[in-house]
Amino acid sequence: MPLLVNLRQLEKQNLALAGELPVAELELDLRDELIRTDKPLRYQLEIQEMEDSLLVQGCLQLPLECECARCLKPFPFQLKLNPWAAHLPFEGEEKVSIVNDCVDLTPYLREDILLGFPQHPLCETDCRGLPEKNIGQVEKTSGSSQNEQKSSAWATLDKLKLKK
């Protein structure tokens, strides 16, 4: 069920909402293989009706399971938007859709959550990446005896003796 606000409830006083929204409701189209989420979004929001708009303020938290972009180690990441705010006008080009006196906040939550995702998730800010084993070393294979017999241009240059 999406996160709906009934405008009739706002006629008398501001509205406070707190709870969890299943991640399936957010319809996050995650194409990044390094970020996964399956836990619900937690929210604490205060909503007030202004003259021709809604003002929504509060805190959003979404736990993510990430994989480090450097070392590929899995690690948890807490996406926290605190403070979070959205101004939703009733008129103009960016007006909100009102259905049965209700406004769906889900698209606005989704947009800011996606903007808050880490671009290159790192397990630590100074992560050194994968271990550097055997870098610069040539592994011997069954067909390497022919390569060893061939001399390279560098081997010829190594034999060159320059006078000072």
pLDDT of residue 79: 94
Q: What are phi and psi of 154, to 5 degrees?
A: -70, -35
pTM value surpassing 0.85: no
| DSSP one-letter string for 12-80 | TS-EEEEEEE-HHHHT-----TTEE--SPEEEEEEEEE-SSEEEEEEEEEEEEEEE-TTT--EEEEEEE
Cis check: omega of the bond before 83, within 30 degrees of 0: yes
Per-residue model confidence as pLDDT tens digits over 38-51: 899 999 999 998 88
How many alpha carbons lie under 13 Å from residue 36 in its C-beta half-sphere? 7
Strands of 4-6's sheet in order across: 4-6, 102-104, 98-99
Per-residue model confidence as pLDDT tens digits over 61-111: 999 999 999 999 999 999 999 899 999 998 888 888 889 889 999 999 999
Which of 28-32, 60-64, 155-159 is most confident?
60-64
The residue among 45, 52, 54 whose CA lies nearest residue 18 is 45
- Coil vs helix vs strand at 135: coil
**Spatial contact of 86 and 60, defined as CB atoms under 8 Å apart:** no
pLDDT of residue 164: 67
How many alpha carbons lie under 13 Å from residue 67 in its C-beta half-sphere? 7
